[in-house]
């Protein structure tokens, strides 16, 4: 799932039209396989994704098992997680 920065409130406010987060997951297991983040704050945004992958946290649990700050850049990760096609 590719999630543009512009599709979240903070990204829209920054008028960012090029930044994005792309998450890859195994549809049958719900495990994150990889991620690409291009744009402002990418080095901070990738950290929770790395932790989830390191600890084997399933996509659904990561997306729904915590509170996401609004408006803030981590919403780009939340929306990408929620948009992943899982079985």
- What is the mean pLDDT of the segment spanning 50-55? 97
Structural domain boundaries in the chain? 2-82
Give the tens place of pLDDT for each residue, 76-86: 999 999 999 99
Which residue in 22, 34, 26 sits closest to 86, CA to CA? 26
Total length of the chain: 87
Provide the pLDDT for residue 63: 96
What is the pLDDT, as a whole number, of residue 2? 98
Q: Domain 2-82 is classified in which CATH homologous superfamily?
A: FAD/NAD-linked reductase, C-terminal dimerisation domain (3.30.390.30)
70 in catalytic set: yes
**Burial of 23 (C-beta count, 10 Å sphere; 0-12/13-18/19+):** buried
* Mean pLDDT across 38-47: 97
Give the pLDDT score at 59: 97
Indicate the pLDDT class of residue 23, thresholds 50, 70 and 90: very high
Helix extents (H) in the chain: 9-13, 42-55, 59-64, 75-82
Among residues 70, 71, 72, 83, which one is catalytic? Answer: 70
Q: Report pTM.
A: 0.94
């Amino acid at each position: 799932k590719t999630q543009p920065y512009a599709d979240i409130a903070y990204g829209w406010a920054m008028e960012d039209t090029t930044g994005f987060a792309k998450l890859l997951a195994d549809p049958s297991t719900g495990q994150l396989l990889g991620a690409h983040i291009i744009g402002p704050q990418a080095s901070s945004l990738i950290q929770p994704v790395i932790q989830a992958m390191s600890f084997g946290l399933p996509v659904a649990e990561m997306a729904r098992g915590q509170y996401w700050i609004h408006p803030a850049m981590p919403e780009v990760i939340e929306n990408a997680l929620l948009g992943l096609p899982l079985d």
